């Protein structure tokens, strides 16, 4: 499996959609090689709607889904703090355009049931479920779905989040939870993240992977659950310079043998001046690795699993 971080096609990255086949850039070969690839689409896919009362608003045309598919991406998370930037009209468009493109999206839906529903697939005889949720507090109450209202799956209700994982575990051998959480600019997890990770681990999560902080965090083990707290930006409009690590990115690959995680690796990269991610080399690679090492020291995660 492969995982990458936050993607949008807004501002500097909007012109990339002129050629969707190359929009994601040089990491496409790594993403395409995996049996299942998941990213976070940090955007409403719509041309309609009214901006919500918040600072930043991201949206993209339906060709955003084409760009993801051309990059070998199989599932996109809408479980983030931008999926409703243009209201529920914009979210409905995002869901309908995804269905028309044939690209599964997770973490948002027309109802609570749909928002917390996992993508489920079978790969080489292993049943895999992938859920997405957000732990970002901005507009969380008004953006949360109900039995009759659309919205983003929120992780603040630990009982509800745990139930979603248990329900997924009931139908799958492997449960992946893709979370939007953390402090922007910080490569260390905050207490709220650790509490949520422990809760979802106890509920049966095989692995937990995060996005949102704009910088990569670290990965490791929490008991028998593999946790990677954050992957950084991926296709993003602020690339081009070091910016205290804000242009660092990683692609996480996870190897499963049956239902067990038997290997993990990160491919370090950086967001270029076009907003596309590219593999880091030379001095830049050493700098990215240094920041990843610092993130590992504050992660609180173990180097190997334990019962």
Q: What are the residue boundaries of the structural domains of the chain, listed by start?
A: 2-297
Cα(134)–Cα(84) distance, integer angstroms: 12
Which tokens hold the place of 31? 């993403």
**Average pLDDT of every residue of the chain:** 96
pLDDT at 32: 98
Distance CA 164, CA 191 (A): 22
Q: Can you give the pLDDT at residue 239?
A: 63
Q: Is the pLDDT of residue 295 over 50?
A: yes
120 Cβ contact list (under 8 Å, min separation 6)? 127, 128, 129, 130, 168, 171, 172
Q: Given this model, what pLDDT does residue 240 score?
A: 54
Query: Do β-strands 37-41 and 207-211 pair in parallel, antiparallel, or remain unpaired?
Result: unpaired
Question: Looking at the domain 2-297, which fold is it?
Answer: Purple Acid Phosphatase; chain A, domain 2 (3.60.21)
The pTM (predicted TM-score) of the whole model is 0.97
Asked whether the predicted pLDDT for residue 121 surpasses 70, the reply is yes
How many CA atoms within 13 Å lie on the side-chain side of 55?
Answer: 1
Q: What angle do CA 113, 115, 116 make, to 5 degrees?
A: 70
Does residue 254 contact residue 37 with C-beta atoms inside 8 Å? Answer: no
65 CA to centre of own chain: 15
H or E element, residue 271: strand 260-271
pLDDT of residue 67: 98
Residue 243 has pLDDT above 60, yes or no: no
**pLDDT tens, 41-78?**
999 999 999 999 999 999 999 999 999 999 999 999 99
Tell whether the model's pLDDT for residue 245 goes beyond 80: no
Rounded to a whole number, what is the distance in angstroms from the first to the last CA of the chain?
23
Whether residue 242 has pLDDT greater than 50? no
């Amino acid at each position: 499996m492969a995982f990458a971080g936050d993607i949008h096609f807004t501002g500097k990255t909007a012109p990339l959609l002129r050629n969707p086949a190359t929009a994601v850039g040089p990491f496409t070969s790594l993403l395409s090689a995996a049996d299942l690839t998941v990213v976070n689409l940090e955007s409403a896919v719509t041309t309609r709607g009214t901006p919500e009362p918040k600072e930043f608003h991201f949206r993209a045309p339906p060709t955003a889904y084409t760009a993801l598919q051309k990059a070998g991406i199989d599932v996109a998370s809408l479980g983030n703090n931008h999926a409703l930037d243009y209201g529920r009209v914009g979210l409905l468009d995002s869901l309908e355009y995804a269905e028309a493109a044939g690209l599964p999206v997770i973490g948002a839906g027309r109802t609570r049931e749909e928002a917390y529903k996992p993508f489920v697939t079978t790969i080489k005889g292993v049943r895999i479920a992938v859920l997405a949720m957000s732990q970002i507090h901005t507009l969380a109450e008004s953006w949360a779905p109900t039995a009759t209202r659309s919205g983003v799956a929120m992780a603040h209700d630990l009982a509800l989040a745990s139930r979603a994982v248990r329900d997924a575990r009931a139908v799958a051998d492997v449960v992946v939870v893709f979370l939007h959480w953390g402090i922007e600019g910080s490569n260390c997890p905050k207490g709220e993240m650790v509490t949520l990770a422990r809760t979802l681990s106890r509920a049966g999560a095989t692995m937990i992977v995060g996005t949102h902080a704009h910088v990569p965090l670290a990965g490791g083990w929490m008991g028998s659950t593999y946790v990677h707290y954050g992957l950084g930006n991926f296709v993003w409009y602020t690339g081009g310079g070091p910016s205290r690590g804000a242009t660092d990115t990683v692609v996480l690959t996870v190897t499963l043998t049956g239902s067990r995680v038997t290997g993990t690796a990160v491919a370090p990269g950086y967001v270029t001046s076009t907003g596309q991610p590219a593999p880091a080399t030379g001095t830049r690679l050493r700098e990215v690795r240094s920041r990843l090492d610092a993130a590992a020291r504050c992660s609180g995660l173990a180097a190997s699993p334990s019962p």
